[in-house]
Amino acid sequence: MAQGMLVKTQQGHAEIERRSAGLDMRLRRLLILVDGKRSLADLAKMSGIDEVEPLVERLRQAGLIAPRESISAQAPPSAPDTDPALATVAALPERDGKSLGMARNFMFNTLRTFNGNLSKLSLQEAVHKCPDHATLRSLYPAWAEAINETTMGRRRFPELQQQLFAVL
């Protein structure tokens, strides 16, 4: 696949909202991270997946992403990033290094608590390796999805989200 920037297609935006394609966590995380601005290297770094090319190709073949220049004239359907939590994450103030460590630890520990020590390992590793707040914030959708996969996580999610936003 060409090294150009990738964007979500209308089908890709719909997949983010509906989860109808049955994507595994790694493919979904990559799809979420595709924004037309990130290179394959950026996607690999942010997702914590070393070999993203085959996964990107699978998303492309499924019609969920495409090279930016091929669909630049298409408008995304009804603003897929209108999730209030994503807007809140984007509007969070700059934080210092101490809060980065606290946010990383919070996300890592809640993943282990609610999903188990051996589940969501690639996400746990990606959170653990995050070098800055921007990268950690980009993992918020995957973290939120993982926490909400469990009954107890769904019950406690508003509280956990508020605690995370205090340091993220």
**Residue 4 scores a pLDDT above 80:** no
- pLDDT confidence tier of residue 112, bands split at 50, 70 and 90: very high
Confidence of residue 35 (pLDDT cuts 50, 70, 90): confident
Residue predicted with more confidence, 30 or 78? 30
Residue 56 buriedness (CB in 10 A; 0-12 / 13-18 / 19+): buried
Residue 168 has pLDDT above 90, yes or no: no
Distance in angstroms (rounded) separating the CA atoms of residues 4 and 26: 21
pTM of the model: 0.52
- DSSP state string for 31-85: HHH--SS--HHHHHHHHT-S--HHHHHHHHHTTSEEEGGGSTTPPPSS-TT--HH
Handedness of CA 17, 117, 44, 94 (dihedral sign): positive
Give yes or no for residue 77 having a pLDDT over 60.
Answer: no
Token pair belonging to 88: 């809140």
Do 1 and 53 touch, CB atoms closer than 8 A?
yes
Please tell me the predicted confidence (pLDDT) of residue 80: 42
Q: Which pair of tokens denotes residue 68?
A: 């930016």
